[in-house]
Amino acid sequence: MTNSLTVGRRVSVRVPATSANLGPGFDTLGLALALYDELEIEVLAEPGVQIEVTGVGAGEVPTDETHLVVRAIAHSLARYDYALPGLRLVAHNSIPHGRGLGSSGAAIVSGVMAASGLLDGIVEVTEADALALATELEGHPDNVAPALFGGLTIAWTTPDGPLHKKLMVHRGVSPVVFVPEHVMSTALARSLQPESVPHKDAVFNVSRSALLVAALIQSPELLLAATEDRLHQNYRAAAMPETDRLISALRAAGYPAVVSGAGPSILVLGSDPAQRLGAAELVAVESETTWQALMLAVDFKGSTVELVST
């Protein structure tokens, strides 16, 4: 790598949380939520990285070049023949880690967007480039697409790379996320997924995924039926029994509840603001451990990057 960045160049990045799958849309559908990680990245004269983290993950995440944001910056810069420079990274994190709200996807997108900002005016990093870079690191595009672009995203892969379609969500859709104190490994959750499922279950999920898109953009009253799933949640239930029990209680009471991403958080896609208040009351009564209720808007903007100093 022969190119280097100008010392003192500084960018600020803001990336939303996401909830993937949304019930039936396994590895395909994702929703951006108004809860953000915010970072500043500056190019230093001396080599190495200086990392300061406040909020979620402070004192827990690496503070060297293995930090996921730094790895994503290095991966993205290398694509354009730029070496990783000395960096100062200041991160204020609000997205819970290991809870199914896309924290690793947000970190990857933060790095990709930071690299894009550091290369501003030098190299154009297109939307397609950013999605491809983020997907290479994340492994699948369902979390990184909404983190990058906001709103409801449909993501799919092709021989030429990942693609996405962004859709605007009906203004009546009112998400609430219930976040437990315990974490869930995405790798463990994926390991519980069978290699094949019955034909009737596959057909069931195809119909519900199609219905879910219609429900989210046009007909929120259909969300309870549209969030039914037979493809992944049942197989993972044993690994998060209270999540499974609360989702069953919520759905029995008429609330469109699903596992958020790989879990263990629960996403309820309320059809109006009052519905999510009812869901919060039910969880408060039924839960055996502490669950934090996050009343979140849908984020329509996605990630942003601003060149603060050149």
Helices (H), the chain: 68-79, 103-118, 127-138, 144-149, 186-191, 199-217, 223-226, 233-236, 241-252, 273-286
Mean pLDDT of 151-170: 96
Check pLDDT > 70 for residue 304. Answer: yes
The amino acid sitting at 211 is: L
Residues 263-283 have a mean pLDDT of 94
Q: How far is CA 265 from CA 191, 243, 253, 271, 298, in A?
A: 18, 7, 18, 19, 17
Query: In this predicted structure, what is the pLDDT of residue 188?
Result: 67
34-70 pLDDT, tens per residue? 999 999 999 999 999 999 999 999 999 999 999 999 9
* Residue 140 is assigned to a ligand binding site: no
For CATH 3.30.230.10, list the domain ranges present in the chain: 10-167+298-309
Tell me if 92 is assigned to a ligand binding site. no
Residue 274 reports pLDDT greater than 70 = yes
As a CATH number, domain 10-167+298-309 is 3.30.230.10
- Strand ranges across the sheet with 257-259: 257-259, 266-270, 174-180, 291-295
Ligand-binding annotation for 102, yes or no, is yes
In whole angstroms, what is the distance from residue 78 CA to residue 123 CA? 12
Q: How far apart are CA 300 and CA 302, in angstroms?
A: 6
* C-alpha pair distances (Å), 290 with each of 3, 48, 60, 219, 268: 50, 40, 22, 33, 17
The per-residue pLDDT for 90 is: 98
Q: Across residues 182-209, what is the average pLDDT? A: 80
Q: pLDDT at residue 10 above 70?
A: yes
Q: Where in the chain is the domain with CATH 3.30.70.890?
A: 174-295
Check pLDDT > 70 for residue 186: no
Q: Is the pLDDT of residue 278 over 60?
A: yes
Q: Which among 26, 32, 17, 35 is positioned nearest to 212, based on CA atoms?
A: 26
Annotated binding-site residue? 99: yes
Residue 256 counted as an annotated binding residue: no
**Centroid of chain to Cα 2:** 34
106 in a labelled binding site: yes
- What is the architecture of the domain spanning 174-295? 2-Layer Sandwich (3.30)
Cβ atoms 258, 23 nearer than 8 A: yes
Cis amide linkage into residue 159, ω under 30° from 0: no
Alpha-carbon gap, residue 5 to 91, rounded angstroms? 21
Query: Is 98 annotated to bind ligand?
Result: yes
Mean pLDDT of 190-198: 74
The rounded mean pLDDT for the chain is: 94
pLDDT in tens, 285-299: 999 999 999 999 999
